[in-house]
């Protein structure tokens, strides 16, 4: 049925709603559509890749119909059962068109793409990839520029593997910052009990209390509203943020398709070493703590154990190691690297170079290459 309204079916009343219109109205209540429309009326250029997934109709209604961006601004906007042969995961491998226009061309100011169910997105500026961790931090720092959040936000939460960039923002704003395990249910508890307004994870999901989920288009609209108000582009906003708060150099390395027994063996080796790691010096880095992350939920008081291994260094660096996907097709080990540079240090260096010592440390502690016999590593960000 394509008509909005109510029908009777076998004694049940079924209401047909226009979810696109309802969602667009919600976004218009949060953001200043007038100021974003004014941005689109200038020479500002924009591209959104809906990846042949569910976000397409919403993007057309919001960006084209309501904000009056050029119709050509939305690509792959028709949802398809097979996603048009694409893999709707927002990253450089699966969204080559927008990455090419942002890094090889010079004619688009802002680009973004969303995933299969529209709840995650990545943001790009000219020659600039915005890491999801930095995005959460910057959106939190600029929340008061948004109509809905002009009086401030209650708090913020991030998953354990997400960088600590938002922690510094929360400290300045004098709001609580929660560190949770990976999994949106933990954010949901905090949102439902009005402990946080914003939350995010390193895998490109961010959201707020407007819904109990992550929301890719909401995050894109946050960026557009901030750009419109400040009249600064993405590189300018990111560099301004780093100059104020410093930069958390960050990367995730995935080892996929590992035999389950070997993945478990690697984790046992790491766990056996934890008690002896504190105080050790590797590649010029001294380990200050090494432990298995356990989360105590502040709402229901439940305890979530074995949520990842965290190795902290004395100079504001850390390594997080997680095991996931222990199914029939093998396991995945994810290793996250983070190193903090103060505002007075170099803020525009190559990420993998800055993190090279931490990567060597992880190789030494996990012995992952020796055990697997080859390098399964995929650098995600």
Identify the pLDDT of residue 325: 65
Report the b/e string of 125-158 with b at 16+ CB within 10 A: bbebbbbbbbbbbbbbbbbebbebbeeebbbbbb
Q: What is the pLDDT of residues 68-87, one digit of tens each?
A: 999 999 999 999 999 999 88
Q: What is the CATH number of the domain that holds 159?
A: 3.40.120.10
Q: What is the pLDDT of residues 294-323, one digit of tens each?
A: 999 999 999 999 999 999 998 889 999 999
Q: What is the pLDDT of residues 331-367, one digit of tens each?
A: 899 999 999 999 988 888 999 999 999 999 999 999 9
The residue among 200, 221, 245 that closes a domain is: 245
DSSP for 257-321, written as a single string: EE-HHHHHHHHHHHHHHHHHHTT-EETTEEEEEEEE--EE-TTT--EE----EEEEETTSEEEEE
Identify the pLDDT of residue 17: 81
269 in the same domain as 196: no
Task: Name the token pair of 314.
Answer: 């004395």
What rounded mean pLDDT belongs to the chain?
93
The residue among 212, 245, 278 that closes a domain is: 245
39 in the same domain as 176: yes
18 in the same domain as 89: yes
pLDDT of 375 > 90? The answer is: no
161 in the same domain as 82: yes
Q: How confident is the model at residue 30 (pLDDT cuts 50, 70, 90)?
A: very high
290 in the same domain as 176: no
374 in the same domain as 238: no
User: CB atoms < 10 A from the CB of 6, how many?
Assistant: 8
Q: What is the CATH number of the domain that holds 327?
A: 3.30.310.50
56 in the same domain as 176: yes
Closest CA to 326 of 261, 372, 375, 370: 261
Q: What is the pTM of this model?
A: 0.94
Range of the domain at 339: 248-379
Identify the pLDDT of residue 312: 96
The residue among 245, 270, 305 that closes a domain is: 245
355 in the same domain as 225: no
Overall number of domains in the chain: 2
313 in the same domain as 164: no
């Amino acid at each position: 049925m394509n008509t909005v309204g109510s029908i009777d079916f076998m004694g049940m009343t079924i209401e047909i709603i226009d979810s696109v219109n309802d969602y667009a109205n919600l976004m218009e209540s949060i953001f200043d559509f007038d100021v974003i429309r004014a941005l689109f009326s200038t020479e500002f250029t924009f591209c959104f890749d809906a990846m042949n997934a569910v976000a397409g109709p919403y993007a057309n209604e919001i960006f084209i119909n309501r904000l009056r961006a050029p119709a050509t601004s939305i690509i792959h906007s028709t949802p398809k059962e097979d996603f048009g042969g694409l893999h709707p995961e927002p990253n450089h491998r699966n969204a080559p068109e927008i990455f090419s226009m942002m890094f090889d061309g010079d004619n688009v100011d802002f680009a973004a793409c969303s995933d299969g169910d529209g709840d995650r997105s990545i943001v790009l500026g000219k020659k600039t990839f915005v890491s999801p961790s930095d995005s959460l931090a910057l959106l939190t720092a600029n929340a008061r520029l948004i109509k809905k959040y002009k009086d401030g936000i209650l708090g913020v939460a991030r998953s354990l593997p997400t960088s600590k960039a938002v922690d510094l923002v929360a400290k300045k704003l004098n709001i609580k910052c929660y560190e949770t395990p990976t999994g949106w249910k933990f954010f949901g508890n905090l949102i439902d009990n009005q402990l946080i307004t914003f939350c995010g994870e390193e895998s490109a999901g961010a959201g707020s209390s407007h819904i109990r989920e992550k929301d890719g288009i909401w995050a894109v609209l946050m960026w557009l509203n901030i750009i419109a108000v400040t009249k600064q582009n993405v590189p300018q906003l990111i560099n301004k943020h780093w100059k104020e708060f410093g930069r958390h150099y960050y990367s995730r390395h995935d080892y996929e398709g590992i035999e389950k027994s070997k993945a478990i063996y690697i984790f046992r080796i790491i766990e056996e070493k934890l008690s002896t790691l504190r105080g050790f010096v590797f590649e010029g880095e001294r380990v200050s703590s090494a432990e298995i992350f356990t989360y105590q939920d502040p709402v229901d008081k439940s305890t979530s154990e074995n949520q990842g291994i965290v190795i902290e260094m004395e100079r504001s660096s850390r390594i997080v190691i997680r095991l996931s996907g222990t199914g029939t097709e093998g396991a995945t080990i994810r290793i996250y690297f983070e190193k903090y540079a103060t505002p007075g240090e170099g803020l525009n260096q190559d990420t993998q170079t800055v993190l090279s010592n931490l990567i060597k440390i992880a190789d030494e502690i996990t012995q992952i290459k020796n055990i697997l016999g080859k390098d399964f590593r995929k650098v995600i960000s």
